[in-house]
Amino acid sequence: MSISQVAVDRVSATFLTSNITLSTYVLALLEDPRFESDTCTLDLISQAHEIILAFSRHPKTHDSSLVWASNIMKKKYSESIKLLVSVKDSNRNDVLVMLEDSLHNTYLPETWSVAEALLNGVSYLAQ
């Protein structure tokens, strides 16, 4: 998608005269429930994947994007491991069902191999 310099200049001027930064505007759209159905909010949501990719490709945000993504992955793995470890007095099938419910929404298929290894370790340790 291409955008003209004139259009960028007009939008920038609007932000400057409104005394609002673009980041403040975007964060308000995404965090304030009043703007949940706003056209701009819906557009941001529909373009989230491309926006995140653009941050990861930009030279000034590439490294911080990778750190952010890594931290998200670590948090998801940690939550899954904590769930697994916190399950007591449950059999292996109960744990698998609970993990499936929990992990299906994380979009981390790699977590399954970690969970299986942990389950096998937990089963092994329990014997």
Q: Are 29 and 35 in contact (CB under 8 A)?
A: yes
Please, how many CA atoms are within 13 Å of residue 43, restricted to the half-sphere of its CB? 4
Give me the percent of the chain exceeding a pLDDT of 90: 39
Q: Tell me the pLDDT band of 25, cut-offs 50, 70 and 90.
A: very high
Give CA–CA dist 117/126, Å, rounded: 14
Across 62-66, 73-77, 103-107, least confident range: 103-107
Identify the pLDDT of residue 125: 40
Give CA–CA dist 22/12, Å, rounded: 8
